[in-house]
């Protein structure tokens, strides 16, 4: 079991810039990732980005060929060239199943990379915003105990009915028990960032990320629904789909407010992968992204893994429940007077976020 116990609480408002006419440089790693593209898209939508001290932001997004976060010499050279005040790390190894056999690379990118970035941030005085995952949790969610009625029989008090246990979304300091190598590498990465940077580190855990770009569940489902008569989708893993543009919005708000600490962010609500797939199809049909429906059958994680094994695929263990509680992040942004975007989409239900993303595709 691993647990972060010394992470500083949310802190906002400290800026390293003295002259208001000197731009604050934000360096984005993993420029070709769906999240980096979302950050650039949202920044364009927001217009002229300015920090809470009135300092304008200047953005640079670097691809892997320009910045290899596992190469300390490369990182140092890039910092000398761009002199960033903020680094937003979107570079990651996200192939959950492949990580089970590619352990070294997964840990180099997800653990060593963030640590090297943090070390260079210490030397330069920059802040780091690092993105982590709901897969740092093992699925053993906190539980709220429902009401029960007690009967007295022969001097023995027994519950008249079984207690009802309702899983609660994970908060930032719940117990961390990653089940997969991917989850372990993401946990170690965020721990290294805080150990090195302390109060200048910001980590945002998110879940089930999808967007207009990159490889993700929504785009995969749309493609399969156009070519397959039926699909099988897992129905016993519960989480919350999160639109990359909505995550980008809250990340920019954290940067503008100069906030540090550990935060969770996902859309509101929760669902299974099967429920998510059904909703994708319903909305896509309504938006004419699909011509006709296909059969979407539920399947258990165990049966899905067995079928994958017969195809030579080793499926990583995933949490049965990994819904995140975003209250701390929302409260922090409200406290620092950071307004939501005009449509308030970052704090809406996952159905609504999905609809926004699909409308952009259509």
Residues noted as catalytic: 182
DSSP string, 260-291: BEEEE---BS-EEHHHHHHHHHHHHHHTTS-S
Environment class of residue 150 by beta-carbon count within 10 Å: exposed (0-12), middle (13-18) or buried (19+)?
exposed
Asked if 89 and 131 touch (Cβ cutoff 8 Å), the reply is yes
Q: Distance between CA 221 and CA 231 in Å, rounded?
A: 9
Measured distance CA(337)–CA(138) in Å, rounded:
34
Residue 319, CA distances (Å) to 86, 124, 262 in order = 32, 38, 20
* Cβ atoms 242, 353 nearer than 8 A: yes
Is the Cβ–Cβ distance between 218 and 210 less than 8 Å? yes
Measured distance CA(280)–CA(111) in Å, rounded: 33
How far apart (Å, rounded) are the C-alpha atoms in residues 85 and 24?
6
Q: Give the SS3 label for residue 188.
A: helix
Any residues with CB less than 8 A from the CB of 155 and at least 6 apart, and which? none
Q: Which two tokens stand for residue 104?
A: 């070294």
């Amino acid at each position: 079991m691993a647990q972060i116990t010394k992470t500083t609480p949310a802190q906002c408002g400290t800026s390293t810039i003295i002259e208001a006419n000197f731009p604050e440089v934000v360096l984005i790693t993993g420029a070709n990732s769906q999240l980096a593209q979302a950050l650039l898209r949202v920044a364009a939508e927001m217009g002229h980005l300015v920090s809470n001290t009135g300092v304008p932001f200047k953005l640079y997004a670097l691809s892997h060929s320009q910045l290899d976060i596992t190469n300390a010499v490369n990182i140092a050279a890039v910092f000398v060239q761009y002199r960033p005040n903020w680094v937003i790390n979107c570079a990651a190894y996200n192939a959950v199943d492949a990580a089970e056999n590619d352990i070294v690379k997964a840990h180099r990118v997800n653990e060593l990379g963030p640590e090297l970035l943090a070390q260079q941030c210490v030397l330069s005085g920059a802040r780091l915003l690092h993105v982590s995952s709901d897969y740092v949790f093992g699925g053993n969610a906190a539980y709220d105990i429902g009401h029960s009625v007690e009967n007295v029989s022969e001097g023995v008090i027994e519950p008249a009915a079984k207690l009802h246990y309702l899983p609660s979304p994970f908060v930032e300091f719940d117990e961390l028990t990653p089940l997969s190598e991917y989850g372990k590498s993401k946990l170690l990465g965020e721990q290294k960032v805080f150990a090195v940077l302390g109060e200048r580190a910001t980590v945002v855990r998110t879940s089930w990320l999808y967007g207009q770009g990159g490889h993700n569940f929504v785009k995969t489902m749309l493609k399969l629904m156009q070519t397959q008569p039926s699909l099988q989708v897992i129905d016993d893993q519960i989480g919350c789909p999160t639109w990359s543009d909505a995550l980008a919005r809250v990340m920019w708000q954290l940067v503008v407010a100069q906030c540090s600490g550990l935060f969770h962010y996902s859309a509101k609500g929760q669902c299974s992968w099967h429920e998510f797939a059904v909703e994708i199809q319903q909305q896509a049909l309504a938006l004419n992204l699909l011509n006709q429906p296909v059969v979407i059958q539920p399947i258990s994680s165990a049966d899905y893994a067995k079928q994958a094994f017969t195809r030579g695929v080793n499926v990583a263990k995933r949490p049965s429940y990994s819904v995140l509680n975003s209250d701390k992040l929302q409260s922090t942004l409200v406290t620092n007077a950071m307004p939501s975007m005009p449509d308030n989409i970052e704090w809406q239900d996952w159905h609504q976020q999905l609809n926004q993303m699909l409308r952009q595709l259509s």
